[in-house]
Each structure stands twice: as C-alpha cells, then as structure tokens.
Amino acid sequence: MCEFVSGNPHNSHECHFSFSADGFIFKSYGYSRTTRQVTTALKILKTSGKHLERQAQKSLLLAVLCIAATSVMLLLSLPKLPTRIDLGGYEAAFALAMVFPIIGVWYYWRRYCSSKMGSTGEKMVTQALESRLNDEYYLINDVLYTNDRGNKENIDHIVLGPNGIFAIETKHYSGKVTCSRSYWQVPFPFGRSPSTQAKGNAYWVNKAIKVSKVFETLKIWVKPIVVFSNPDLELEVIDPEVEVVKLDRLVNSIMSYNNGYSFSPEQLKLMGEGILKQASPAKRQSE
C-alpha cells in the first residue's frame, strides 16, 4: 500500500490518500494538540428553513409596488405632463396621499435588506458549525416557537453537545456595535436587544426539554450565545450578561464550555427530538 499525507502545519487536520490493491482510499483525520482522533461532521437534526428568504422576497415585491404607486401618482399630478388629471379641490389631499407609498418604499426596502442580511448571517454560522464541530454534536437550525406571551419567535441555531446545550442568536450587523451588560449601541435603529432574544430562546429550549419529559430528574442548563457573522464588524463587549462573540470564535466558545455534566449521544438525540416536538408545526417550519 502506498500512502500520501496532506496537511497544513498551521491547523489540526490531515488528509491521508492511500492506494492499494483494493483501490483508492481517502481518510480525513482531525485531532487536538495532544491527542489525535478520527472525526466526522456533526449530525444535523433540522436544516435551515426559507422563511427569511421568503420574507425578503415579499418585502422586495411590496417595495416595488410602492415605487409603482408613487410613479403613477406623480404622472397624474405633475403639471405640464399629458397624463396629468385635474383634481380640482382634491389636489392637496392627493399630494398628502403620495406620502404613504413613499414611506412604504423606505419601510419595505429596509425589511428586505434586513432579511437578506439575516439569511446571509445564518448561512455563514451554519457553515462554520458544520465544518468545525464533529459527530459528537447535533445541530438544529431555524426553530419556530410560540413564547409564553403568545408571540411567534425564531431560534437561529441550537447546538447539542456532550459538554452543553447552546441557543445561538445570529446577527449580521455592520459598522461598530457596543454591548455593555444588557445595553446595546448600534449605528442604526433596531428592535429588541440581541441578548434578550438569546436569553428568551435559551429559556424556551430549556422548557421544551422539560415539557417533553425526556429526563425527569436531570437538571439542564441552556447557554445563550449572540454571534456576529460579519467579519468587518467592529465589536466592543463590556461585561455582557450573555456570551457575545464574533463568528471566528464561536466554535471555540462552544467546545471550551464546561457544563459540569457529560451528555451521552442517546441523551442528546432524545433532547433534540423533544425540542422539535415542542416547536411550531411542520408547516410553519418550512416557511
């Protein structure tokens, strides 16, 4: 047998190519700094849905319709145009009505951009998790649920590992973002605090595991994490109430976490199934 080894001295990964009488064999080895072990990719219990992409498409369509409505109203109202209609005493009201489609263009375009950025960020996080976590970990993407107040919520990623359970809130912001405890400062208006979202998602995951009655006595803690996927973001973090990291530190943060208890593969799979059972119906999950 003839074997060739391909590896990068700056990372912990080697590829072995072997030729024998039985044919060509490829093996990929991942190992820690001290102990080498064969690894494969993490297990995915649920892939990402398309609700952000569909939301982006819907917002773009509505923005285009608002642009069309504004254009038609301009053609009907501007003087010296053959399409102008004499509205008599209603010209002032017509001019005021034009404000609404103009606002609609601004509003729906912002929603479109936000949805596109969110979709991009979630794909980047999923790729990072899939490429660096091994088969000891389970991944659940894009979980929709109803919180205690009856509002619809979304969890971007749930990671189940032998060292802990993680609820990940993904943001694809740009510019400079500052997090000090629960206070957030961003260069644009935004809704709820990312840390509040992450904590609410972690609370629901914990509750879903308990309600599913997978474990009667085992005490489970779900760790909330906020991750920023844009590599150009300038992030300043001061004593945050939840862990806040950039994408290049996410996997290290997950793998270095010590829950104080080691979950077995069977326990992790049961927890994942329990979470999916408590989530919104399959019809919503695919949206």
**pLDDT single digits (tens) 26-48:** 333 333 333 334 356 889 998 87
Q: Say what the pTM is.
A: 0.73
pLDDT (tens digit, 9 = 90+) per residue, 103-119?
999 888 888 887 788 88
Beta-bridged to residue 244, according to DSSP, are 226
Match 């069309």 to its residue by tokens.
Answer: 68
Beta-bridged to residue 36, according to DSSP, are 31
Q: What is the mean pLDDT of residues 126-130?
A: 94
pLDDT score recorded for residue 9:
42
Residues 198 and 191: their CA atoms lie apart, in Å, by 13
Buried b (16+ CB within 10 A) or exposed e, 201-216: bbebbbbbbbebebee
Helices (H), 159-264: 194-211, 247-256
